[in-house]
Amino acid sequence: MKNRQFSVGMDQRIIDIDLTQVTIMAELFPVPKLIDSGQLKVSDIHTIHWETAGNPKGKPVIFVHGGPGGGTSEDTLRFFDPEKYYIVQFDQRGCGQSTPHACVEENTTWDLIADMERIREHLNIEQWQVFGGSWGSTLSLAYAQSHPQRVTELVLRGIFLFREKEMLWFYQEGCSRIFPDAWQPFYEHIPEDERHDLMTAYQKRLFSDDKAVQLAAAERWSVWEGSTCHLYPDLQHIEDTAEPEFALAFARLENHYFMNKGFFEHENQLLDNCDIIADIPTIIVQGRYDVICPVESAYELNQRLNNSELVIVPDAGHSAFEPSIAKALVDATNRFA
């Protein structure tokens, strides 16, 4: 990868080195050893996978993954100092190691909030920090507004408020003008007479009775998002999003939530309820060039909160694993530790 050089003022020159995966991981803590893990039965249908790591006597924090349908990994534990934090993470209904896979029945925002409470009670945690990005920021806000007494702080990234304009931007218009090459396979998978409503067209295919039809649509859906996550394209990430089992859960769950408008009563619900959480210490980390969740939503959220700080990262897109975003998130958790 080549270095980029540009001038600042008259006399100074800055070398801005293109960032690699090694740099990304250097910003994060080492993968901590798991303390415990398990499967928690949360309904007649669903069982969710949970894990704990770090210091059992440390500050409790719950990691809320994105998607919906994204799942967790060992790397999602690395935003927290394992000597200072008691880290909890879980795979939301229908994804990761939770079962049944890609199931949308009994799978709503409010079911997931109830699951978070079940995990908290199961682990005998009184209060915890809530950390979430993208859809994880949506669910974190909804959880905090439902249970503000349980939240010590919020660390949020890539704000998504589930408004119609946000969904249309990414799945119908707007973002396609920035990534026309990545958009074309997603768009052309749908016949011309259905392209006026791509989410509905994909819903028909993702929930087809034909598994091959499901998988073909899921790959196009998942790879479209994977192709737009990073300021510098991450080819390995794009390849990972095409993996059939991941793509199927990711695409079906996202489409299910989007078609149901997040199961909110109205599209401004999260902003309108900000008075409930206005005084909870909050750090919002947002990539300036995030095309999946544009900065406008983070800016509006920050204006609604009394005790929040908005960190706009100037050299990043959407992914939590972009170097400058990873550093800002680690700075946030260190401050709250």
For 3-26, b/e burial (b = at least 16 CB within 10 A) is eeeeeeeeeeeeeeeebeeeebbe
Q: What is the CATH classification number for the domain harbouring 286?
A: 3.40.50.1820
Cα 43 to chain center, whole Å?
Answer: 24
Say how far apart CA 100 and CA 121 lie, in whole Å: 23
Phi, psi of 304 (to 5 degrees): -90, -10
Is the same domain home to 224 and 288? no
Reference 185, options 231, 230, 240, 242; nearest CA is 242
Considering the candidates 49, 176, 318, 319, report the single residue annotated as catalytic.
318
In DSSP notation, 231-267 reads: SS--HHHHHHHT-HHHHHHHHHHHHHHHHTGGG-SST
Domain that holds residue 285: 12-161+263-336
Within-domain flag for 89: yes
Is the same domain home to 252 and 301? no
| CB neighbours of residue 197 within 10 Å | 12
Helix (H, G, I), strand (E, B) or coil at 227: coil
Say how far apart CA 158 and CA 116 lie, in whole Å: 21
Is residue 147 among the annotated active site residues? no
Within-domain flag for 5: no
Within-domain flag for 4: no
Is the same domain home to 280 and 231? no
C-alpha dist (Å) from residue 101 to 56, 63, 158, 200, 220: 30, 20, 26, 22, 19
Reference 89, options 142, 135, 42, 36; nearest CA is 36
The pair of three-digit structure tokens given for residue 317, joined into one six-digit string: 């897109």
Residues of the chain with pLDDT under 50: 1-22
Q: pTM of whole model > 0.95?
A: no
Residues 6+ apart with CB under 8 A from 73: none
Say how far apart CA 268 and CA 120 lie, in whole Å: 28
Of 243, 261, 279, which marks where a domain is finished? 261
Residues 6+ apart with CB under 8 A from 267: 161, 162, 163, 164, 261
Is the same domain home to 256 and 267? no
Q: Which amino acid is at 132?
A: G
Helix (H, G, I), strand (E, B) or coil at 230: coil
Is the same domain home to 146 and 287? yes
Of 244, 261, 278, which marks where a domain is finished? 261
Considering the candidates 49, 81, 91, 134, report the single residue annotated as catalytic.
134
Question: Is residue 6 within 8 Å of 15, Cβ to Cβ?
Answer: no
Phi, psi of 223 (to 5 degrees): -70, -35
Is the same domain home to 182 and 157? no
Is residue 297 among the annotated active site residues? no
The pair of three-digit structure tokens given for residue 99, joined into one six-digit string: 């079962």
Relative to beta strand 308-313, strand 282-287 is parallel
Say how far apart CA 88 and CA 85 lie, in whole Å: 9
Is the same domain home to 172 and 301? no
Beta sheet of 282-287, edge-to-edge order: 34-41, 47-54, 85-90, 59-64, 128-133, 151-157, 282-287, 308-313
* Residue carrying the six token digits 């095309």: 291
Q: What is the DSSP letter of 14?
A: E
Is the same domain home to 182 and 268? no
Is residue 134 among the annotated active site residues? yes
Number of structural domains found in the chain: 2
Residue 118, H or E segment: helix 109-122
Say how far apart CA 129 and CA 88 lie, in whole Å: 10
Say how far apart CA 156 and CA 61 lie, in whole Å: 13
Considering the candidates 290, 297, 308, 319, report the single residue annotated as catalytic.
290
Question: 157 forms bridges with which residues in the sheet?
Answer: 133, 285
Of 219, 235, 261, which marks where a domain is finished? 261
